């Protein structure tokens, strides 16, 4: 089935729940898209469940605080299910089986965020060479070159230190434009011989948790709205959900309908809809 070019307002009547991406849909690299807070409120008036599904390596609370700071009403969505939150669940379960002292972990995040390990039997170290576990919760690709990461991660890869990538995005939006994301750093670690566990879109675990939050809603009645064919569409379709891409914002801003569809077809990902933007009026 070919994707349809439509509007968010029309889709609001067709679906029973919504999984909405943050960056590229609600936010750009500097703040909220102009009409996104009002549009989220309009969608919330339908009374249908809304979950913000994000590849942010930060946990739910920091993401929710950011959305509130940028003008989104907390009552307009159920929760932020971030890859960082999903990873925290996994690390918490691992922590139950740990013995002895806290495991040294190299946590690489943005804004000095330590929420990924707070309350766990893990202690932060300054260098990957000191760590027995790596957590790639974010990228500093707007500040550091990929070669810096190569030098930093090579000793850990040589020791076969396990790595959790809790933000699989290959690219990210910053105030200066696009930069490589934590997913690209994880791929580099694999190139160096390291082993990586990916948590977030398009991988199944985060969608399984989303399904648990939404309850008894049929998968095809859930619409995933995002800007990334490789994450939002591939992951959503793989989980059995319906999918929609925004055309005028995010990673592929300005791409035409046919091009977005071709990208998805090349990935083998089912794209159901393309909308101009997350905007109630367009």
Confidence of residue 243 (pLDDT cuts 50, 70, 90): very high
pTM summary value:
0.86
pLDDT at 95: 55
Least reliable range by pLDDT among 6-10, 80-84, 172-176, 183-187: 172-176
Question: Which domains does the chain possess?
Answer: 4-55+205-275 (3.40.50.1000), 101-198 (3.40.50.1000)
Minimum mean pLDDT among 6-20, 95-109, 233-247: which range? 95-109
Q: What is the pLDDT of residue 57?
A: 87
Task: Give the dihedral sign, CA 280/204/259/142.
Answer: positive
pLDDT in tens, 66-121: 999 999 999 999 999 999 999 998 888 775 444 456 899 999 998 888 888 999 99
């Amino acid at each position: 089935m070919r994707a349809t070019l439509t509007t968010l307002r029309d889709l609001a009547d067709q679906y029973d729940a919504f999984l909405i991406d943050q960056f590229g849909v609600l936010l750009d690299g500097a703040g909220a898209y102009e009409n996104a807070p009002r549009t989220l409120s309009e969608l919330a008036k339908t009374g249908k469940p809304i979950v913000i599904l994000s590849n942010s390596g930060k946990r739910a609370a920091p993401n929710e605080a950011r959305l509130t700071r940028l003008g989104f009403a907390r009552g307009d969505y159920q929760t932020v299910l971030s890859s960082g939150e999903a990873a925290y669940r996994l690390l918490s379960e691992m922590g139950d089986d740990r013995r002895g002292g806290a495991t040294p972990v190299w946590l690489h995040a943005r804004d000095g965020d330590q929420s990924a390990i707070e309350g766990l039997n893990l202690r932060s170290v300054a260098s990957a060479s000191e760590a027995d576990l790596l957590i790639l919760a974010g990228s500093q690709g707007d500040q550091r070159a990929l070669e810096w990461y190569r030098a930093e991660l090579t000793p850990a890869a040589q020791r076969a230190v396990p790595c959790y990538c809790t933000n699989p995005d290959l690219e990210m939006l910053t105030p200066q434009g696009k930069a490589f994301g934590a997913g690209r750093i994880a791929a580099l670690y694999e190139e160096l011989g390291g082993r990586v566990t990916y948590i977030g879109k398009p991988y199944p675990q985060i969608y399984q948790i989303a399904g648990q939050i939404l309850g008894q809603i049929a998968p095809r009645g859930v619409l995933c709205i995002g800007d990334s064919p490789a994450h939002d569409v591939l992951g959503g379709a793989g989980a059995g959900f319906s999918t929609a891409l925004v055309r005028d914002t995010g990673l592929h801003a300005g791409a035409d309908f046919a091009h977005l569809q071709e990208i998805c077809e090349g990935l083998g990902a089912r794209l159901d809809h393309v909308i101009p933007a997350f905007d109630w009026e367009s």
